[in-house]
Structure 1
């Protein structure tokens, strides 16, 4: 599997709870004002999504070369003119923006061959992205990764959902404390991309008929698996 380029050795998974009816308002503002302006500071906007199970949840991922460059990029963006111009409008859509996991790739997402759609694009891609979060009793270790590769990945592939990337918690201290991240948690996660909603539904049906598919991971888990079903926005790079 191709690895992430050096710009993305650290990632943020950001889940925002929005005021009712405000998700499309934020996405319109985000895709107009916040993609190129963040990437100009050295970040990589990996993807933006509507959570299909939570109508007021906006999910997005951004990557950084390392923790030091994360501090520099965030300081530049949040201290810069674009955020200052639009922050009141963005914040007005939000109830909570602190649900943030800091992750590092185990195996990463290959950059797409096609460029991100241009500003002003409205057509949503048909793809669906599923992100599965394993909440762990302790930090992910080599034994867990090996168990996943030998006993879970083959089954997921047979069920029509080959994982595209694996992640685990980045344990480093938050280098930009003005933006909180969840601490004291241990996560192992994988991401799968489906060509459309019907392919995803087909996988869910097959997975429901194979209830023991995740049994090899149970010894590490502190809670049930969490599945996010995500619909990419019009300008999401990951699609």
Structure 2
């Protein structure tokens, strides 16, 4: 089995609000048509998810080597034949697709890694029991060493005890959006981490560990509890 290898120095966290009843329609199309076709342009599809707390929310993650390759990959995909063939079917499911955070690893060793196992093949329909949680901290200023030390001393041990050691730590990528046709959120200082809980029960036990972070926060923490689709790589 191959060892995990580093994934992406730039990550998009994309949250789409869909028209009622359209989430499974979009997921079916996405898992069938938009994974390999995007990766063929040089980007990496990290995962696709149902937001368990918002029935009309579809969340997905994609990564890039750097901002220049992001521009090239997005230009190739959105100017290419697969998107042109399926864009109307995708767009008709969506109310809003502009809730996008552009992120980078806090340090080179805190990014996501490619898993050592392949993504389920096209046509797979078995969904895993695991839950991916993305926690978003909205900070008063970019994360500093004091904040990171607090996280490592008070948050990571609790999550590790629950069997959900953080898989990656990210912060806002402040560089200018290199593909302005797809807007991203600006003017925020976000610190984010990703964890994978073995199941929904274990996720529900994770409470009360965030108090030490309060002095740095400009807004309440935001938790995205995500159920991986059948073809999500992150699971």
Same fold (TM over 0.5): yes
Which of 108, 112, 123 is the matching residue for 1:109?
112
Aligned partner of 1:128 in structure 2 is: 131
> Structure 2: how far apart are the matches of 1:199 and 1:218?
24
1:56-67 equivalences under 5 Å are 56-67=56-67
**Are 1:147 and 2:154 counterparts?**
no
SS of alignment partner, residue 8 of structure 1: coil
Aligned partner of 1:227 in structure 2 is: 223
> Structure 1: how far apart are the matches of 2:151 and 2:221?
14
SS of alignment partner, residue 113 of structure 2: coil
Tell me which moved more, 104-113 or 32-41: 104-113
> Structure 2: how far apart are the matches of 1:168 and 1:3?
22
> Structure 2: how far apart are the matches of 1:79 and 1:120?
26
Segments ≥4 residues shifted beyond 4 Å: none
> Structure 2: how far apart are the matches of 1:160 and 1:33?
34
> Structure 2: how far apart are the matches of 1:159 and 1:238?
19
SS of alignment partner, residue 53 of structure 2: coil
Aligned partner of 2:90 in structure 1 is: 90
Shift in Å at residue 87 of structure 1?
Answer: 0.3
Residue 3 and residue 214 in structure 1: after superposition, are their counterparts in 2 closer, same or farther (change >3 A)?
farther
Shift in Å at residue 29 of structure 1?
Answer: 0.4
Shift in Å at residue 4 of structure 1?
Answer: 6.2
Which of 158, 175, 179 is the matching residue for 1:176?
179
**Are 1:72 and 2:75 counterparts?**
no
CA contact (8 A) 1:3 1:108 kept: no
The aligned length equals: 230
SS of alignment partner, residue 114 of structure 2: coil
So what's the TM-score if we normalise by structure 1? 0.92
> Structure 2: how far apart are the matches of 1:143 and 1:69?
33
Shift in Å at residue 3 of structure 1?
Answer: 8.7
Tell me which moved more, 88-97 or 142-151: 142-151
- Structure 2: 5+ residue runs without aligned partners? none
Residue 63 and residue 87 in structure 1: after superposition, are their counterparts in 2 closer, same or farther (change >3 A)?
same
So what's the TM-score if we normalise by structure 2? 0.94
Aligned partner of 1:198 in structure 2 is: 201
CA contact (8 A) 2:101 2:185 kept: yes
> Structure 2: how far apart are the matches of 1:131 and 1:217?
16
> Structure 2: how far apart are the matches of 1:51 and 1:66?
27
Aligned partner of 2:24 in structure 1 is: 24
> Structure 2: how far apart are the matches of 1:41 and 1:142?
36
Which of 193, 213, 216 is the matching residue for 2:212?
216
| RMSD, aligned α-carbons | 1.5
> Structure 2: how far apart are the matches of 1:181 and 1:70?
13
- Structure 1: 5+ residue runs without aligned partners? none
